[in-house]
Amino acid sequence: MSADAQVLEAFVGYLRTERQYSPHTLDNYRRDIGRLLRYAQANSLADWSAIAPRDLRAFIAETHRAGLAGKSIQRLLSAIRSFYRYLNREGLCQHNPALGISAPRSARRLPKTLDTDQAGQLMQIPVTDAVSARDCAMMELIYSSGLRLAELVSLDLGDIDFRDASLVVTGKGRKTRMLPVGSKALAALDVWLGHRGSLLRGEEPALFVSKRGSRISTRAVQQRLEHWGLHQATDGKVHPHRLRHSFASHLLESSGDLRAVQELLGHADIATTQIYTHLDFQHLADVYDRAHPRARKKND
């Protein structure tokens, strides 16, 4: 084993004994620093102290060109910074070339949505008992009002106003907002409330309850939506956030009112809401590619 490899193993031993890192994390650190070691050897860098910031930037650029994602490079740089702090502590190096170096930005992933037909198909579940009535009401309400999962499960009976077709929800930062509720969601809620008593085991203020009669958990909601997505043959996995994304995308597509969508979603920063403008543009671009005579491919 080379001297540099021995230093790497000593570092991993330090992480194991003094930092109490898990075996999985240790493997990640060994792999990341090992990658840098191989780069140094391939470029005739004598030892760890010979690696300068320009060498590290070249190493990061090479890994990025090789296909390593931005988040993985961020983790790689974090491991290198920790490694050089260890070298500094042990007197093996006097500098840390990773300081001030940032990873390339990752492309922001657009949220997957259901189109309006898929959303409609999902909601057409057969309501035959209390559980299916509850599930239908939950899905209708998320899609109608753009609720977060945590907001949905925290709802109490008193938060719904049928006369005013609205609800009061407590979002992030304990901020409350009033939201409209669509007619189909209100109808589904009315059916659910007719069944709700059959699941109760005592006093429970929660709007949505489990089979045990207590407030439904976030995990149970996720499982139920995934179940209905498979049952209704929906394209891709159905989860609460996907319904929320669909609500925002469809509303923006119809209204073009970004500020209103921001308020309904409870986003503190409109930049968070602006991702839906990209979704909307993507839809328009698809229509353009299919319809415009100068955009269609020659073999169409």
Nearest to 162 by CA among 208, 133, 125, 193: 193
Which pLDDT does position 71 carry in this prediction?
79
Residue 196, exposed/middle/buried by CB under 10 A (0-12, 13-18, 19+)? buried
Whole-number Å distance between alpha carbons of 186 and 51 = 64
Residue 176 has what pLDDT?
85
**Tokens coding 23:** 């075996």
Please tell me the predicted confidence (pLDDT) of residue 211.
Answer: 93
Whole-number pLDDT of residue 297:
53
Q: What is the pLDDT of residue 300?
A: 47
pLDDT (0 to 100) of residue 280: 53
Contact 12, 30 (CB under 8 A): yes
Structure tokens at 276: 């839906």
Is pLDDT above 70 for 237?
yes
Residue 38 has pLDDT above 60, yes or no: yes
- Which range (138-142, 157-161, 234-238, 295-299) has the least confidence? 295-299
Pairing of strands 160-161, 176-180: unpaired
pTM value is: 0.58
Is the predicted pLDDT of residue 290 greater than 80, yes or no? no
Mean confidence (pLDDT) of the chain: 85
Residue 5 — pLDDT band, cuts 50, 70, 90? confident
Strands 166-170 and 160-161: antiparallel
- The contacts of residue 201 (CB under 8 Å, 6+ apart) are 212, 213, 214
What does the block give as tokens for 56? 């590290």
Of residues 266 and 153, which shows the higher confidence score? 153
How far is residue 104's CA from residue 255's CA, in Å, rounded to a whole number?
A: 35
Place of tokens 């049952």: 231
3-state secondary structure of 294: coil
% of the chain surpassing 70 pLDDT: 85
Query: What is the rounded average pLDDT of the residues 208-219?
Result: 95
Task: Tell whether the torsion through CA atoms of 13, 15, 16 and 22 is positive or negative.
Answer: negative
Two tokens, residue 112: 């997957």
Q: Say if residue 258's pLDDT is above 80.
A: no
CA dihedral 276, 280, 281, 286 (to 10 degrees): 140
What is the chain's Cα-based Rg?
Answer: 27
Please tell me the predicted confidence (pLDDT) of residue 106: 59
Structure confidence at residue 112 (pLDDT)? 77
177 or 103, higher pLDDT: 177
Position 205 scores a pLDDT of 95
Please tell me the predicted confidence (pLDDT) of residue 47: 83
Distances from the Cα of 54 to the Cα of 43, 65, 86, angstroms: 13, 17, 21
More confident residue, 35 or 268: 35
Check: CB of residue 110 under 8 Å from CB of residue 275. yes
73-83 residues labelled b (16+ CB within 10 A) or e (exposed): bebbbebbebb
Residues 113-167: pLDDT tens digits? 888 888 989 999 999 999 999 999 999 999 988 898 989 999 999 999 999 899 9
Q: 212 near 201, Cβ under 8 Å?
A: yes
Q: Mean pLDDT throughout 71-95?
A: 91
Catalytic residues: 148, 172, 241, 244, 267, 276
Q: What span, in angstroms and rounded, lies between the C-alpha atoms of 130 and 133?
A: 5
Mean per-residue pLDDT, 166-193: 89
Report how far residue 47's alpha carbon sits from residue 16's, in angstroms, rounded to the nearest whole number.
Answer: 24
